Structure 1
Amino acid sequence: MSGHGHDHRPSAQADRRWLLAALGVIVVFMAAEIVAGLLAHSLALLADAGHMLTDAAALALAVIASRIAERPARGAYTYGFARVDALSGQVNGITLLLLAVWFAFEGIRRLVHPSGVHGGVVAVVAVIGAAVNLVATYLAGRADRDGLNVRGVLAHLVTDVWAFAATFVAGLVIVWTGWRQADPVASLLVAALMAWTGWRLVHEAGRVFLEAAPPGVDPQALGAELAAADGVAELHDLHVWVLGSSEAALSAHVLVDLEYDCHEVAGRLRTMLGRDHGIGHVTLQVDHLDAATHVAEHCTDAHGTVHVAPAATD
């Protein structure tokens, strides 16, 4: 079997190298931003640093999840460790939501009781921060984007670019007008971005854990498409879900007209599901159906035995 289908896909080891490079860039700047935020008395800079802390955590979790997800299925873990990817995304999303609540509270408090903020320092650090995040986004973007953890990292980094833009504007407003409330206003905008990104990550991870259908797949429409295939008499017990954030699975009971080869029909359905819907993990129970008696007969096995069972009535 040829391996050409994998020639252009980054290896897991290469993914981790890119993610670790992005992590190094983020951690160095985050430390510098915390110091600058404390010296400038800027809540917006500290909010940005807090967001970058979640970026660093997301990158670290992505690296760890990538290593764990490589482990083969064994023992009690018959599906392997694909959902570690979603678990890291959910942890990261919850962290973002908690930080958003804290920065929103602090932002409102400073709107009422503004403190002295050095607008020039805020603006300069914000420009550097935007540049650093663009570099980190480029590095992380070189990794495979199919996983929820990597998509979460990229969402964080892009959000940070916008957050730094808001912080930069706040710094300029303070320098030009002396309006100190611009800093907590910027921090509230950052908190809103955190909440939005965090909610999306938690929601996507929740779909994985609740075994929802893959995004863009309508189970009813898919069932109708399968039932309309040549040779399919009836379709029952259709389930379609995600094993991990990028791997879909499907199971169904398919009843095939007697004049068709049930193994050929099953193979055709699997090909269609993989080609048209990206569903590669397919489990089909395929039986023949006698339309006259409405009795289901299991497909003949390798020894020629035929088993008869009542047809499904759901």
Structure 2
Amino acid sequence: MAVEVAAGILASSLALLSDAAHMLTDALAIGLALTAAALAGRPARGPFTFGLPRAEILSAQANGALLFGLALLITYQGIDRLVSPQRVDGATVLVVALVGVAINLAAARVLAGEGPSSPAEGNAPAEGHAPAAGAPRRRSLNVEGALAHVISDLAAFIATALAGLLILAAGWRRADGAAALVVAAIMLWGAWNLLRRSGRVLMEGSPEGVDPRQLGEAMAAYPGVVEVHDLHVWELTTNFPALSAHVVVAAGGDCHAIRAELDQLLAARFHITHTTLQVEHEHSGLLSIDDAPRTRGAP
């Protein structure tokens, strides 16, 4: 990174300096990601009854914010370079950028090989509630945050290499600013996706791919179930959906059996195994308040 800063200053290249700044945020992001992963793996204790699985989500938010802020800064500087182009050493830019491409290709391959997250990797807050077998899994947002940084770094170096080639071959000095703007656009897209997805978890939105209405209808249509209300479905962290609901069972129905069968339905069809179902019988045979006898002398 220090070599790239020196090369950027010597070549007067905004693209190289932007790459160096981006690599600095990458280093900070990786350190934050490692810290968050360690916190997420700690057992539940004290007031944190779920443990600290959302430390990874907070880390993803921080990574997204870093990408977003840096992209805005690069956009400003890139526009300035387009308006007032400066002399840039295209050969230096091209060589340094190609080295960066090779390094980031290797880093991206390592992170992509991490694969989907699993409870064994610290994403399950409690034992006995692992995601259902066959459930589609996504990478931890923490890992995706680091991968987003590396991919945007890779894109930055590719754009910078093309800019160096254009400057060297055609003398087009504005290519440096144009490359910086391309990098900024890619970074903004990655930051938006990361902030949107981690924000969905923090705001306890339903997991991606799960329609709460469809889920509720499937539960209500189950034999013996009269009504489902107070239905809530959310994610504790990546790949760890949770659900709570009140289920009304027909009079004479077996509440315990129906609850167990609903658990199986939710696991098999919606891949939700962390459930809290309050099951009760229908009380259609009881008097309502309006029908109850009134106490004499009451106003």
TM-score (norm 1): 0.80
Aligned to 1:180: 173
Q: CA deviation at 1:272?
A: 2.0
| Identical aligned residues as a percent | 49
Q: 1:178 to 1:289 in 2, by over 3 A?
A: same
What is the aligned partner in structure 1 of residue 47 from structure 2? 76
Helix, strand or coil: the match of 1:151?
helix
Shift of 1:181: 0.6
Residue 267 of structure 1 and its aligned partner are, at CA, apart by 1.2
Name the CA distance, whole Å, in 1 between partners of 2:179 and 2:5.
16
Of the candidates 6, 9, 27, which is equivalent to residue 56 of structure 1? 27
Question: Which position in structure 2 is the counterpart of 1:103?
Answer: 74
Deviation at 1:143, TM superposition (A): 2.6
Q: Secondary structure at the match of 2:282?
A: strand
The runs of 4+ residues in structure 1 deviating greater than 3 Å are 290-295
Aligned equivalent of 2:277: 284
Contact 1:93–1:197 (Cα < 8 Å) also in 2: yes
Question: In the alignment, which of 207, 212, 221 is matched to residue 214 of structure 1?
Answer: 207
Letter in 2 for 1:143: E
Q: 1:57 to 1:278 in 2, by over 3 A?
A: farther
Q: Give the number of the structure with larger relative contact order, counting CA–CA contacts within 8 Å between residues 6 or more apart.
A: 2
Does 2:263 match 1:251?
no
User: Following the alignment from structure 1 to structure 2, what is the Cα–Cα distance between the partners of residues 64 and 266?
Assistant: 39
* Structure 1 residues not aligned, in runs of 5+: 1-29, 296-314
CA RMSD of aligned residues (A): 1.7
Q: Is the 8 A contact 1:144 1:150 kept in 2?
A: no
Q: d(CA) in 2 for partners of 1:160 and 1:229?
A: 50
Tell me the CA shift for residue 174 of structure 1.
0.1
Three-state SS of the structure 2 residue aligned to 1:56 is: helix
Instruction: Report the Cα distance in structure 2 between the residues aligned to 1:83 and 1:192, rounded to whole angstroms.
Output: 28
Deviation at 1:293, TM superposition (A): 4.9
Equivalent-residue separation in structure 2 for 1:218 and 1:32 (angstroms) = 50
Structure 2: gaps (5+ residues): 117-138, 289-299
The answer to whether 1:89 aligns with 2:60 is: yes
Shift in alpha-carbon separation, 1:31–1:258, aligned structure 2, 3 A: farther
- Secondary structure of the corresponding residue to residue 117 of structure 1: coil
Q: Which residue of 1 aligns with 2:192?
A: 199
Separation in structure 1 between the aligned mates of residue 40 and residue 86 of structure 2, nearest angstrom: 47
Partner of 2:261: 268
| Alignment check: 8 A CA contact 1:233 1:255 kept | yes
CA drift of 1:294 comes to: 9.0
**Which one of 119, 133, 141 corresponds to residue 148 of structure 1?**
141
Q: Of the candidates 77, 92, 111, which is equivalent to residue 121 of structure 1? A: 92
Matched residue SS, 1:279: coil
- 1:1-28 Cα shifts (integer Å, max 9, x gaps): xxxxxxxxxxxxxxxxxxxxxxxxxxxx
Matched position secondary structure for 2:47: coil
Task: Measure the CA separation in 1 of the matches of 2:109 and 2:284.
Answer: 59
Alpha-carbon deviation of 1:144?
Answer: 4.6
Distance in 1 (CA, whole Å) between partners of 2:157 and 2:38 is: 32
* Separation in 2, partners of 1:132, 1:272: 47
C-alpha displacement of 1:65: 1.0
Aligned residue pairs: how many? 266
